[in-house]
Amino acid sequence: MSGILAIHTGGTITMSDGPNGLGTMAGLIEAAFDRISPAAVRLNVISFDPLVDSADIGPDHWNRLIDLIGSQPNDGVVITHGTDTMPFTGAALSFALEGIKTPVILTGSMQPLGVGPHAEENLRFALQMAEQGPPGVWLAFDGKLMCARSLVKYHSIGPSSFRESEVEGWAQRAARLSPRHFLPRRLAILTLSPGICVSAVDSALRELDGAVVRVFGAGTLMHDPELLRTFSAAISRGCRLVAVSSCEAGGLLPGAYAAGAALWESGIENGGKLTPEAALVRLWLELSG
């Protein structure tokens, strides 16, 4: 008999209509798991109290998930989670639990339980993957198993809302599990745009320990000496800056365009093909020691 740990954080999957729109409701996930769990599975369900909309998920919740997974004996894990920040949590657990020898399966739904078949289908698939799937951290969604480190939420309402981005070196590399935690750090994702206010970028960087900077294409940015001085000054102060592409695929290619030469001369780090979410998580862990 397989022992599966199920952790319910909240999200659309257990929401119901309220006066201000959909809101989380306690007790629904436990009833759903009782209804669909195979007889051969011994299920231990732990729900956050209170449940959390994924818009409010952050490093403290990631640490809690890491600790729960490490403290509860299991042959696999299912985590139900809201979809809006699924790529952040997927990347966070993938990096923090690198080397884990059991499946950790994230899932959720674009519709609540009882509204169409989508939610129950995702739960069934997640349970199946937690019992039979490969080691590592994955998303089970709409019949597809996807690497949680490279998730892109590309559709805000459709049932098939996620796909994998191409990420270099996403496979589990650690020989053994050594869980890592997220310490309090001041980080952000900054997106460059034509005509961006450089003083606003400077003000933000003065408050941060590090930032992921979404640049253009394969690694270009506007020719603005003041912006480049702002980046160099932030790096000199000890602020870690990592560049990623604003494009979903392809990553960055230093040296491909003259318009990007000054970017790398400023000292900014190359995030390669990492998604912004994965780059932020990796930087957070590096700054957590």
Q: Distance of CA 126 to CAs 10, 66, 197, 216, 221, Å?
A: 16, 18, 45, 36, 41
The C-alpha atoms of residue 215 and residue 260 are separated, in whole angstroms, by 9
What's the mean pLDDT in 220-235? Answer: 96
User: How much of the chain exceeds pLDDT 70, in percent?
Assistant: 94
The tokens describing 226, both together, are 């003041």
Q: What is the pLDDT of residues 139-178, one digit of tens each?
A: 999 999 999 999 999 999 888 899 998 765 445 455 678 8
pLDDT at 181: 98
DSSP sequence for 4-34: EEEEE--SGGGEEEETTEEEE-TTHHHHHHH
- 25 or 267: which leads in pLDDT: 267
pLDDT tens sequence across 33-80:
999 998 888 999 999 999 999 999 999 999 999 999 999 989 999 999
pLDDT band, residue 276 (cuts 50/70/90): very high
Full DSSP string of 66-101: HHHHHHS--SEEEEE--STTHHHHHHHHHHHTTT-S
